[in-house]
């Protein structure tokens, strides 16, 4: 099993959840209204007067066989809207209950 952590512009919220569901992935934990700033370019998402946009993030645990297709779908989503911002990371899951 692997965990996929996704941080993304709030505008993607429904799309990211639908993307996971399209792979049969029901479970996730979501954090809403979080701030962030990309490491290369793009506008900060800080929820402030100057930078009003915010990010959401989620963590989902998937079977190893789903990692590559989910990450590819996330990559295509990011490439379709590069100004919005989306980052995803795969982490090992050593134990779960």
Inside any domain, residue 97: no
pLDDT in tens, 6-44: 999 999 989 999 999 999 999 999 999 887 777 676 777
Burial 8-39 (b: 16+ CB within 10 A, else e): bbeebeeebbebbeeeebeebeeeeeeebeee
The CATH number that applies at residue 65 is 3.30.70.120
Overall pTM surpassing 0.95 (yes/no): no
Number of domains composing the chain: 1
Domain containing 73 equals 2-92
């Amino acid at each position: 099993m692997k965990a996929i952590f996704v941080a993304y512009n709030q505008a993607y919220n429904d799309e990211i959840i639908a993307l996971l569901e399209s792979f049969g992935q029901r479970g996730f934990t979501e954090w809403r209204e979080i701030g962030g700033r990309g490491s290369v370019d793009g506008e900060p998402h800080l929820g402030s007067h100057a930078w009003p946009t915010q990010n959401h993030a989620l963590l989902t645990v998937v079977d190893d066989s789903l990692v590559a297709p989910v990450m590819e779908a996330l990559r295509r989503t990011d490439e379709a809207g590069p100004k919005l911002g989306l980052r995803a990371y795969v982490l090992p899951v050593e134990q779960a209950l």
